[in-house]
Amino acid sequence: MTPLEPVALLSEDWLFVLRNTDYLLFGLLWTLALTATSLTLGFLLGFPAGLVEVYGGRYSKTAVENVGVVLRGTPILVIIMVTYFGVGLSPAFVAATIALGLRSAAYQAQVFRGSIQSVSSGQLEAARAIGMSKWDGIRRVVVPQALRRSFPGFQNEFTIILKDTSIAFAIGLAELLTRSYDLFVQRTTAVLEVILFVSLLYFIVTFSTNRLLDYLEGYVAIPGGGR
Amino acid sequence: MADPLLRLDDVEQSYGDERVLDGISFEMDRQDVQVLIGPSGSGKSTILRCINRLVEIDDGDIELDGDSIFTMDENDLRRQVGMVFQDFNLFAHLTAIENVTLGLKHVLDMDDEAATEKAERQLEQVGLLDQRDSYPAELSGGQKQRVGIARALAMDPKLMLFDEPTSALDPELIGEVLEVMRDLADQGMTMLVVTHEMGFAREAATDIMFLDDGRIVEHGPPEQLFEAPEQERTAEFLERLTALHGGIHG
């Protein structure tokens, strides 16, 4: 008896997936890169927007709120069409980053607004009472506590963005889902296998990043539970 | 005779339509310990908050050391007036010593070493040097309030405001906070205290003010208010208060 080759146990369709692993993993790299740039842009815009929604003046607050409502109320497909075809941003990666980043900013603003508002107003009052300026008090007392409380919401946002990067399919960016589509139109019997494999990749990234964020949350937690 | 340290002149304050302070005038000399008492909603806390401009007044004037506080930069004013809060308001993400050094470093611009040294002395004064690295959530209520006092004292204020400093504490923890306050009074700190601790008021106060409905109903030394109040309302209020809080902790 010759020992069985392990691959011999697999169907032809699974072998097809296996042969194209590299191709899919490169797609995953695009997906991860797009997730990172979109979340970063979303943070850079969303965090200040959250601050403005809590502490801003009447006009800046209204302006930020309205932009947020529009962005949250528009389908991501429309936003990405606008940045790519409408505004004409290119390459596709930049258009996708701007689209996903802007929408994420609108959601992240809500995450940070909530966590800023959850810090008791007495904290800022105490900072003001020792002679700190409002901005200094926000920066040194409110923000460090608010950021710690924004982990759960941010974790959600990460998970959503990771999977929403697949919308870049619409503008032909060769991210994970686009590449899986390329594969299964080539070999239509392997649709299920390709999709399952790709889902597994999404799951592995989501799961491990969420564990990492859990760990970070515990690491920066205030000893004794804070307040 | 020098100016009084603090002078309130016909101070009026409202929230919306509701008149909170209705013509408050009094003076405090250096080293005075004045205690404000009165039913809830009478405006006691608001008076304190007007003095460090956490609340703005509608009319009248407040002078600190001869200068109207409305001509000063509000942050400058607050550096000179320490405040201790009913619910402590310790910075939750900072250790006891960091609570004290925050203002030293970022308001008074002291370097790390000088700030730490000063903060340690301040914590020692309230008997908490051994808790220097504990976070607020790891401290008892009494310890939190003592850190709160140390944090305010570290700024070397001319005047300390206490807003019901023991009201949020379990009865067995009130004593340690009052002891720190008594020491402070003995050292000559000028203190304006909102409290219902009648033992403290009787023993440490130079003057007691009874406030009702945004007005000072009666103002005098403790003996007068406790033994021979001129106003019926003062007598009634003190009688009820003494029944509840009578010198237990004094």
Beta-carbon neighbour count of residue A62 at 10 Å? 13
What is the average per-residue pLDDT within B104-123? 97
What are phi and psi for residue B61, nearest 5 degrees? -145, 155
Q: Is A123 near chain B, with CB under 8 Å?
A: yes
Q: Choosing among B85, B88, B93, which should be mutated to test the A contact, i.e. which has the most A CBs within 10 A?
A: B93
Q: Which amino acid is at A175?
A: E
Q: What is the mean pLDDT of residues B125-135?
A: 96
- Answer for the pair B88, B148: CB distance below 8 angstroms, yes or no: yes
Residue B185, CA distances (Å) to B63, B175, B189, B203, B211 in order: 22, 15, 5, 11, 22
- pLDDT mean across residues, chain B: 93
What would the pLDDT profile of A123-162 be if each residue is shown by its tens digit? 999 999 999 999 999 999 999 999 999 999 999 999 999 9
Q: What is the pLDDT of residue B184?
A: 96
Residue A210 near chain B (CB below 8 Å): no
B87: pLDDT strictly greater than 90:
yes
Q: Tell the burial category of A212 from Cβ atoms under 10 Å away from its Cβ (0-12, 13-18, 19+).
A: exposed
> Can you give the pLDDT at residue B243?
78
Report yes or no on A226 lying in a domain: no
B103 chain-A contacts, CB cut-off 8 A: 130-132
Give residue A7's pLDDT: 60
Q: Evaluate whether residue A1 is within a structural domain.
A: no
pLDDT at B244: 74
Contacts of A122 in chain B (CB under 8 A): 85, 87, 89
* Residues 19 through 78 of chain A touching chain B, CB cutoff 8 Å: none
> Mean per-residue pLDDT for B11-18?
92
Question: Domain ranges in chain B?
Answer: 6-91+158-245
Cβ-count burial A145-165 (b if 16+ within 10 Å, e if not): bbbbbbbebbbebbbebbbbb
The pLDDT assigned to B3 comes to: 81
- Helix A21-55 to helix A12-19 angle (10° resolution) is 60
Q: Which residue of B has its CA nearest to A225?
A: B137
Task: Quote the minimal CA–CA distance from B222 to chain A in Å.
Answer: 29
B13-52 residues touching A, CB cutoff 8 A: 52
Helix H segments across chain B?
A: 44-51, 74-80, 96-106, 112-125, 141-153, 171-186, 198-204, 222-227, 232-245
Provide the pLDDT for residue A183. Answer: 93
**Are the C-beta atoms of B10 and B64 separated by less than 8 Å?**
no
**What are B182-225's pLDDT values in tens digits?**
999 999 999 999 998 989 999 999 999 999 999 999 999 999 99
Candidates B200, B125, B139; CA nearest to B167 is B200
CB proximity under 8 Å: B 135-194 to A: 135-138, 151-152, 155
What strands lie across the sheet with B59-64, from one edge to the other? B18-28, B6-15, B59-64, B67-68
Whether A204 is in a domain gets the answer yes
Residue B109 DSSP symbol: -
Name the residue of chain B whose CA is nearest to A222's CA.
B93
CB pairs under 8 A between A and B: 80
- Whichever domain contains A187, its CATH number is 1.10.3720.10
Q: Give B250's pLDDT tier (boundaries 50, 70, 90).
A: very low
* pLDDT value of position A8: 65
d(CA A37, CA A26): 17
- Give the distance from CA B12 to its chain's centroid: 20
Q: Return the CATH architecture of domain B6-91+158-245.
A: 3-Layer(aba) Sandwich (3.40)
CA distance B46 to B60: 14
Residue A73 domain-assigned? yes
Helical (H) or strand (E) element with B207: strand B207-212
Beta carbons of B6 and B160 less than 8 angstroms apart: no
Q: How far apart are CA B38 and CA A64, in angstroms?
A: 44
Pairing assessment for the beta strands B215-220 and B59-64 based on DSSP bridges: unpaired
> Does residue A227 fall inside a structural domain?
no
Best mean pLDDT range from A181-190, B126-135, B240-249: B126-135
- With CB atoms and an 8 Å threshold, state whether A224 touches B137: yes
pLDDT in the model for residue A1:
53
Q: How many domains does chain A have?
A: 1
CB contact under 8 A, B93 and A226: yes
In chain A, the residue whose alpha carbon lies closest to the alpha carbon of B83 is A129
Confidence of residue B41 (pLDDT cuts 50, 70, 90): confident
The percentage of residues in chain B with a pLDDT greater than 70, rounded to a whole number, is 97
Cβ-Cβ contacts under 8 Å for B24 (sequence gap 6 or more): B8, B10, B11, B12, B43, B47, B60, B214, B215, B216
Chain B residues closer than 8 Å to A125 by CB: 54, 85, 89
Count other C-beta atoms under 10 Å from residue A117's C-beta. 15
pLDDT of residue B247: 52
Residues (pLDDT < 70) of chain A are 1-8, 226-227
**Cβ <8 Å between A222 and B151:** no
Range of the domain at A167: 6-221
C-alpha–C-alpha distance, residues A36 and A44, integer Å: 12
Helix pair B171-186, B141-153: axis angle to 10 deg: 20
User: Which chain B positions have a beta carbon within 8 Å of A129's beta carbon?
Assistant: 52, 54, 78, 82-83, 85, 152
Contact A223 B138 (CB under 8 A): yes
- Closest partner residue to B135 among A133, A136, A222, by Cβ? A222
What are the DSSP calls for B125-151, one per residue? HTT-GGGTT--GGGS-HHHHHHHHHHH
pLDDT for B158 beyond 70:
yes
Task: State whether residue B54 sits within 8 Å of chain A by CB.
Answer: yes
pTM assigned to the model: 0.90
Provide ipTM, 2 decimals.
0.92
Q: In sequence order, what DSSP letters do the residues of B29-45 get, joined into one string?
A: -TT-EEEEE--TTSSHH
